[in-house]
C-alpha cells in the first residue's frame, strides 16, 4: 500500500494503492439538505444518514418534530427568506456538507411567446434560493466543506415549452462553475437529473404511469429515474475530493441526440 501524503486531511483513506481513487469518509460529518423532506432531497438525507452523517433536513413545510423512524432532524426554513435562512445557519451550523434540492412552488411552462414574464421570472426562485443558501452559508460551512446543487437536463436539451426551466438550469450550472475557484478549498458541484419519479409530477395512478412512460420511452434508458439514483450521484460528488465546479448527468441518456 502506498500512502499519499499530498492529500489534505478530509477523512480520506490515504492507505490505498496509488491507482485507487481516494474516497472521503463521511462518518461523523454534519450536513444540511434543503428540500430534504421529499423526493431527491429525502433520498439524499436517507443515504447520508446511512453513511453515519448527522443530517438536518430543511424545507418550507418541515416541522421540528421527528417521526420515531426518521434518521434526520427536520427544520422549517425558506431559502428565499434571507433573514430566516441566516438565523437557521446561526442556530444550527457549522456544517461539513450542504445540499440544496429545493424547487420553487411554481415553474412556468409552455410556449415562450405565450408565457407571462412574471411566470418566467418566478421560475428563477430556484436560482435565488441556491444563491442565498451558498452565500449566506459560507461562514457556517467548514473550510473543507462540500456543496451540491441540482440543475436538470433541460439545461442541455431544452424541450418545447421548457425555456424558463432550461434557462434557470443553465444559470445554476454557470453559477457552480463561476464560484468554485472563489470559495476553494470548499468544493461545489451539481447534479443534472433527467425525468425522475418524484412528487414534483402531480399526476396519479394510471395517468402518472402513462406520463412517465411517454416522456422517457425515446431515451436510451427508457424509464424514469429514481430519487435514490440521483442521490447516489450526490454522494459521489460529496465523497470524491477531486471534483469541483462540475456537473454530473443522471438522466438515462435524455440529453443524447
Q: Quick one: DSSP state of residue 20?
A: S
Residue 247, strand partner residues: 190
DSSP letter assigned to residue 222: -
Question: What's the confidence (pLDDT) of residue 12?
Answer: 53
CA distances (Å), origin 246, targets 146, 150, 166, 174 = 12, 11, 18, 10
In the chain, count H helices and then E strands: 7, 7
Cβ neighbors of 17 (< 8 A, separation 6 or more) are: 1, 2
Q: Are 109 and 152 in contact (CB under 8 A)?
A: no
- In 92-246, which ranges are E strands? 95-100, 141-150, 187-193
| pLDDT at position 5 | 43
d(CA 103, CA 86): 19
Low-confidence ranges of the chain (pLDDT < 70): 1-22, 62-71
DSSP H/E element including 74: strand 73-76
pLDDT at 199: 79
Rounded to 5 degrees, what are φ and ψ at 3? -65, 155
Model pLDDT, residue 10: 55
Angular region, 253: left φ>0, alpha ψ -120 to 50, beta rest:
left
Phi-psi region of 187 (alpha: psi -120 to 50; beta: other; left: phi over 0): beta
Residues near 211 by beta carbon (within 8 Å), at least 6 away in sequence: 201, 203
pTM comes to: 0.87
The CATH fold assigned to 30-250 is: Rossmann fold (3.40.50)
Amino acid at each position: 500500500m502506498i500512502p499519499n501524503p499530498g492529500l489534505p486531511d478530509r477523512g480520506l483513506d490515504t492507505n490505498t494503492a496509488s491507482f485507487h481513487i481516494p474516497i472521503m469518509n463521511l462518518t461523523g460529518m454534519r450536513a444540511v439538505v434543503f428540500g430534504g423532506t421529499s423526493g431527491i432531497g429525502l433520498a439524499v438525507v436517507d443515504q447520508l444518514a446511512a453513511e453515519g452523517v448527522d443530517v438536518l433536513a430543511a424545507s418550507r413545510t418541515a416541522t421540528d418534530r421527528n417521526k420515531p423512524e426518521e434518521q434526520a432532524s427536520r427544520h422549517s426554513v425558506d431559502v428565499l427568506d434571507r433573514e430566516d435562512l441566516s438565523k437557521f445557519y446561526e442556530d444550527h451550523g457549522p456544517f461539513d456538507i450542504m445540499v440544496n434540492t429545493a424547487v420553487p412552488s411554481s415553474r412556468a411552462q409552455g410556449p415562450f411567446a405565450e408565457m407571462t414574464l412574471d411566470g418566467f421570472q418566478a421560475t428563477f426562485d430556484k436560482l435565488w434560493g441556491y444563491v442565498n443558501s451558498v452565500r449566506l452559508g459560507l461562514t457556517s460551512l467548514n473550510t473543507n466543506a462540500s456543496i451540491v446543487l441540482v440543475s436538470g437536463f433541460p439545461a442541455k436539451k431544452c424541450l418545447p415549452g421548457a425555456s424558463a426551466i432550461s434557462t434557470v438550469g443553465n444559470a445554476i450550472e454557470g453559477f457552480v462553475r463561476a464560484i468554485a475557484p472563489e470559495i476553494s478549498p470548499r468544493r461545489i458541484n451539481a447534479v443534472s437529473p433527467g425525468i425522475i419519479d418524484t412528487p414534483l409530477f402531480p399526476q396519479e395512478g394510471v395517468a402518472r404511469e402513462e406520463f412517465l412512460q411517454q416522456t422517457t420511452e425515446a431515451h436510451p434508458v427508457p424509464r424514469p429515474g429514481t430519487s435514490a439514483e440521483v442521490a447516489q450521484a450526490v454522494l459521489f460528488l460529496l465523497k470524491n475530493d477531486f471534483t469541483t465546479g462540475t456537473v454530473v448527468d443522471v438522466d438515462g441518456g435524455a440529453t443524447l441526440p
